[in-house]
A and B are shown apart, each in its own frame.
Chain A
Amino acid sequence: MVAPQKQFESPGFDTLKEGIWKDNPVFIMLLGLCPALAVSNTALNSLAMGLASTVVLLGSSLLISMMRNVIPKQVRIASYIIIIATFVTAVDYTIHALSLELYNALGAFIQLIVVNCMILGRCEAYASKNKVSTTMVNATGMGAGFTLALFMIGSIREILGFGTFFDIPLFGPDFQNWAIFILPPGGFIVLSLLLALFAFVEKRRAPAKTEKEGGHGS
């Protein structure tokens, strides 16, 4: 899944891959959990949420990386938050203008992207210290990892909870909805199982790591 990014020099390539697998914001670093669970009851909602967060992350990382030498240390957090909030407001209005249905489904959680710890964390830990190009690669990786994680949770919850995938019925009319998965507890439980899966795979891979870095799917 990382093949098209081959043109990056090796550190960039690694940063990209890290965001998706090794440092996956949701499954490994446990960041941005709130939106990952709150709106992930269907595949479409979670994909939209992931993309919206990625757009905000890319935009604010770019700006912050560009202005990293201008912003004094003392006011950096405040500046970052204002920048992020601006992007979030823009995304909020854009989604509102594009699709009311999607906007209603995501509700206040679009605005809550502003407090997604993943975004502020990335801005503070990476964008404020690195040059624009590597920052963008890192942000893309993180955004992709976040979107992928949300999409996985959303798909599982939708398939089990509604018996559909992107609103396409999978199991025929006799399917009894497994309603718990679209309710709040289902979010926690699916995330818990995925976390366990990731930890399990990481543990299994750990001894083999030295021989070969890449080559795993998801």
Chain B
Amino acid sequence: MDPDSMAFIFLQAFLINNLVLALFLGLCPFVGVSAKLETAFPMGLAVVCVMLVASLCAFGINILLVYFNIEYLRLICYIAVIASAVQLVEMTIKKFSPKLFRMLGIYLPLITTNCAILGMALFQTFDEYSITQSLAYSLGAGAGFMLALVLMAGLRERLELANVPDACTSAAIAMMLAGMLSMAFMGFAGLGG
């Protein structure tokens, strides 16, 4: 497959270099929100939305930064843009779906410090993707995050019924699960190569 094609970039971000399971990005919400499927799914959706918006903004801003030759301000600009994008998505959700808004609760503002978003924006810049490639990448990254979150939530719901050692409750066992998922995702590495 052509490494520059949109399909490949999407696949790459979605499965091969899954943000959560291969690059360890966005672990805080991953651990925090993955206990129940009914919160994991909307959280994943919210991240996908923010990713798309942030990716577009980051692409535009990077053009400006490169034009004025002030790339050293990239980090500050990106984080400010992401914070605004999160609030934009937050306000939109609040307006159109108060139920969803209540469900996501405190996790929405937390997306600001979701490293997955900033990581996505930075990687997209480092790899010098074009605008369509960036979109494919951010969509893949968001979908990959959602996939990991939903898979994890499904597993953890099952785990509720299992009898785990005292010391391994919640966090430790969740990490162990993540490790196994990550191992499974390693199998995607040769995909499309």
A78 close to chain B: CB less than 8 A: yes
A111 and B75 within 8 A (CB): yes
A71 close to chain B: CB less than 8 A: no
Using known A-B contacts A111-B122, A112-B25, A185-B183, determine if residue A192 contacts B172 with beta carbons closer than 8 Å.
yes
Please give, as numbers and ranges, the residues of chain A lying within 8 Å of B131 by CB-CB distance: none
Please give, as numbers and ranges, the residues of chain B lying within 8 Å of A77 by CB-CB distance: 83, 109, 112
Mark interface residues in A177-212 (1 if CB within 8 Å of B CB, else 0): 000100111111101110111011001000000000
A120 and B179 within 8 A (CB): no
Q: Sample 26 A-B pairs with CB under 8 A, ordered by A number.
A: A31-B28, A33-B31, A34-B26, A34-B115, A85-B79, A89-B72, A92-B75, A108-B123, A108-B126, A111-B122, A114-B118, A115-B79, A115-B112, A115-B117, A185-B180, A185-B186, A186-B179, A188-B179, A189-B175, A189-B176, A189-B179, A192-B168, A192-B172, A197-B167, A199-B167, A203-B167
SS class, residues of chain A in contact with chain B: helix
Size range of the interface on B? 35 or more
B166 close to chain A: CB less than 8 A: yes
State in angstroms the CA–CA spacing of A153 and B95 once bound together: 44
Q: Which of B16-24, B139-147, B155-163 contacts A (4 or more CB under 8 A)?
A: B16-24
A196 and B83 within 8 A (CB): no
Number of contacts between A and B (CB, 8 Å)?
125
Tell me which of B27, B31, B109 has the highest count of chain A C-beta atoms within 10 A of its own C-beta.
B27
Mark interface residues in B58-89 (1 if CB within 8 Å of A CB, else 0): 00000000000000110110011001000000
Chain A residues within 8 Å of B, Cβ to Cβ:
30-31, 33-35, 37-38, 77-78, 81-82, 85-86, 88-89, 92-93, 108, 111-112, 114-117, 120, 180, 183-189, 191-193, 195-197, 199-200, 203
State in angstroms the CA–CA spacing of A117 and B30 once bound together: 13
State in angstroms the CA–CA spacing of A108 and B80 once bound together: 18
